[in-house]
Amino acid sequence: MLQQTTVTAVIPYFERFLDAFPDVTALARAPQDRVMALWAGLGYYARARNLHACARVVAENGGRFPDTVAGLLELPGIGAYTAAAIAAIAFGRPVVPVDGNVERVTARLFAMTDPLPGSRKAIARQAMTLNADRQAIARPSDFAQALFDLGAGICTPRAPACVLCPWRGACAGNRQGIAASLPRRAPRVARPVRHGVHFCMVDAAGGILLVRRPEKGLLGGMMGLPGPHWRDAPWPQAEALDHAPTAPRLRVNWRRVGQVKHVFTHFTLLVDVYAARISTFPNSLVGTEGVIHDMDRDDVALPSLMRKCVELARDSNIFD
């Protein structure tokens, strides 16, 4: 949960998750929809799918995690950093997990001036030498966590407290007076804008039409409002309505109720939201398009983007 989300935001999600799944076997047995429902709002939903898949693999192996970096890397969703962190902290393997804090400490310690992200591999290679000290090798769990804390509390991104740093004498960046400027970064590229359309259809009983998104891609496997693919060009209304949910003999008066802006890591998405109310959902529409969900229930995992779209439709009095 902490890979892309702050501690403050994670705490209530973590507590609810552990209440529902107190051990890896409980998580492995849970339906994916239940896992996703408890993750909804955290974003980066591939993490939840990978965590669930990982739990199933571990449960098949008797509930025991691999205790080496190589073994951990074979589990779904575990990459180099996570594998090294688990191996060092949980199993005492003498490896250095390289997160943003350790990356910053390393760049400053060795005065590595090539900008990120191009220098990331070189910094990671240099970071692997940080535990050469005999005491570090003897206490890999403590050393890994000390590195994290050094970066988070002393070697901070801005105004590092170099006078308090236990490595200030060995720090090339400090000696050269450039520590605070490291690691350097290549100029930011403007985040591109993409465009989407989603349709909020409700009936007189308060049901809403939802569809499951494809497993691969952003918001993969999550429930959401129907709509065409996101693209670089805006969707003119006539073209957008060609993708609206429909059924034989069903007359729908779609109304554009506004636009939602949602920022992903690599692009900004602008979504035109259309809303319509019908008396009842025909079986043919449900069978081909998705499922009807009662909006008074909270057992469906709607990602933040879709919740924004539903709230915009709600504000247009479509549910009244």
The reported pLDDT for the residue numbered 141 is 97
The reported pLDDT for the residue numbered 299 is 62
Which among 303, 304, 299 is positioned nearest to 220, based on CA atoms?
303
Q: What is the pTM of this model?
A: 0.76
Q: How far apart are CA 241 and CA 228, in angstroms?
A: 10
Q: What is the 3-state secondary structure (H, E, C) of the chain?
A: CCCCCCHHHHHHHHHHHHHHCCCHHHHHHCCHHHHHHHHCCCCCCHHHHHHHHHHHHHHHCCCCCCCCHHHHHCCCCCCHHHHHHHHHHHHCCCCCCCCHHHHHHHHHHCCCCCCECCCHHHHHHHHCCCCCCHHHHHCHHHHHHHHHHHHHHCCCCCCCCHHHCCCHHHCHHHHHCCHHHCCCECCCCCCCEEEEEEEEEEECCCEEEEEECCCCCCCCCCEECCCCCCECCCCCHHHHHCCCCCCCCCCCCCEEEEEEEEECCCCEEEEEEEEEEECCCCHHHHHHHCEEEECCCCCCCCCHHHHHHHHHHHHCCCCC
**Can you give the C-alpha Rg of the chain in angstroms?**
24
pLDDT one-digit tens code per residue, 101-141 = 999 999 999 999 999 999 999 999 999 999 999 999 999 99
Q: How far apart are CA 254 and CA 276, in angstroms?
A: 5
Q: CB of 276 within 8 A of CB of 285? A: no
The reported pLDDT for the residue numbered 43 is 81
Domains of the chain, earliest start first = 7-91 (1.10.340.30), 100-181 (1.10.1670.10), 193-315 (3.90.79.10)
Q: How far apart are CA 42 and CA 174, in angstroms?
A: 38
CB within 8 A of 109, min separation 6: which ones?
130, 167, 170, 171, 172, 173
**Mean pLDDT of all residues in the chain?**
92
The one-letter amino acid code at 273 reads V
pLDDT one-digit tens code per residue, 35-94 = 988 998 888 888 899 999 999 999 999 999 999 999 999 999 999 999 999 999 999 999
The one-letter amino acid code at 194 reads R
pLDDT one-digit tens code per residue, 228-281 = 999 999 999 999 999 999 888 888 999 999 999 999 989 999 999 999 999 988
Of all residues in the chain, what percent carry a pLDDT higher than 70?
Answer: 97
The reported pLDDT for the residue numbered 75 is 96
